[in-house]
């Protein structure tokens, strides 16, 4: 069976530091006809469950714990029986949205999450959030970057729990070392590649310290 990547776009709101913004999020589903994982259960557990359909949902992996990336995670877990994975450094952010429900498992740098022939390696990439991670699958030639890297530059670092020099270090050390043809699948908006972003990122890195 062929491993494939599906994108579902869900709409909702991002709330932090007393502000609220309307957002659209990419929910990534990775797997085959039998089993999948979901990367970032955003906004609409029912829509995500319908996209998963009758396949086994092996894991709900959170790239970070901003509310717009995790708000539907507990409901999706309840619908499917899947476990929620989060890096422990993002537990303070998680608790802002889900004070009465902990993630089930902890992500760590170098951990490999397997599903349907795909091996997703966790890259701890703090900066946008302390526990932000990216997920690299060299066999598929992709990296899921959450809000760490977008088309046009790094994720935002102007709010609580974020730090610009840290995100620049993460991108330089963990992402720019990947093959330039690696497809970057982001938490919001359109895909890009490591090679396409590298020239712009050199300017950001120069500003980073």
The three-state secondary structure class of 16 is strand
pTM of this structure: 0.97
- 100-114, 115-129, 192-206 — which is least confidently predicted? 192-206
Tell me the C-alpha distance between 101 and 85, whole Å: 12
User: Over the chain, what is the mean pLDDT?
Assistant: 96
Helix (H) or strand (E) holding 37: strand 35-39
Residue 205 has pLDDT above 80, yes or no: no
* Torsion of the alpha carbons at 194, 191, 174 and 110, rounded to the nearest 10: -130
**What percent of the chain has a predicted confidence (pLDDT) above 90?**
93
Query: How many residues are recorded in the chain?
Result: 209
What pLDDT sits at residue 39? 98
> Tokens 């093959």 belong to which residue?
179
How many Å apart are CA 172 and CA 192, to the nearest integer?
16
Q: Which of 157, 180, 179 is nearest to 169 (CA)?
A: 157
**Range 71-93 average pLDDT:** 98
By the 8 A CB rule, do 86 and 133 touch? no
pLDDT of 58 reads 96
What pLDDT is recorded for position 129? 98
In the sheet that 112-115 helps form, which strands lie side by side, from edge to edge? 112-115, 118-124, 133-137, 142-146, 183-186, 192-193
When pLDDT is cut at 50, 70 and 90, the band that residue 208 belongs to is low
The pLDDT-based confidence of 73 (bands split at 50, 70, 90) is very high
């Amino acid at each position: 069976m062929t491993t494939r990547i599906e994108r579902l776009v869900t709409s909702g709101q991002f709330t932090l530091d007393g502000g609220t913004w309307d957002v659209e999020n990419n929910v990534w589903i990775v797997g085959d006809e039998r089993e999948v994982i979901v990367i970032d259960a955003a906004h609409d557990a029912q829509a995500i469950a319908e996209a998963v359909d009758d396949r086994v949902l092996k894991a709900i992996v959170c790239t970070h714990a901003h509310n717009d990336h995790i708000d539907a995670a507990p409901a999706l877990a309840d619908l499917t029986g899947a476990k929620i994975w989060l890096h422990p450094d993002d537990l303070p952010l998680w608790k802002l949205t889900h004070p009465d429900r902990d993630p089930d498992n902890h992500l760590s740098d170098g951990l490999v999450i397997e599903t349907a022939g795909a091996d997703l390696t966790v890259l701890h990439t703090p900066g946008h959030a302390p526990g932000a991670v990216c997920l690299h699958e060299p066999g598929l030639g992709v990296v899921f970057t959450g809000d760490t890297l977008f088309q046009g530059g790094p994720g935002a670092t102007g709010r609580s729990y974020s730090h610009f020099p840290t995100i620049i270090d993460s991108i330089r050390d963990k992402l720019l070392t990947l093959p330039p043809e690696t497809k970057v699948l982001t938490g919001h908006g359109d895909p890009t590649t490591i090679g396409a972003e590298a020239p712009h990122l050199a300017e950001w890195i120069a500003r980073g310290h």
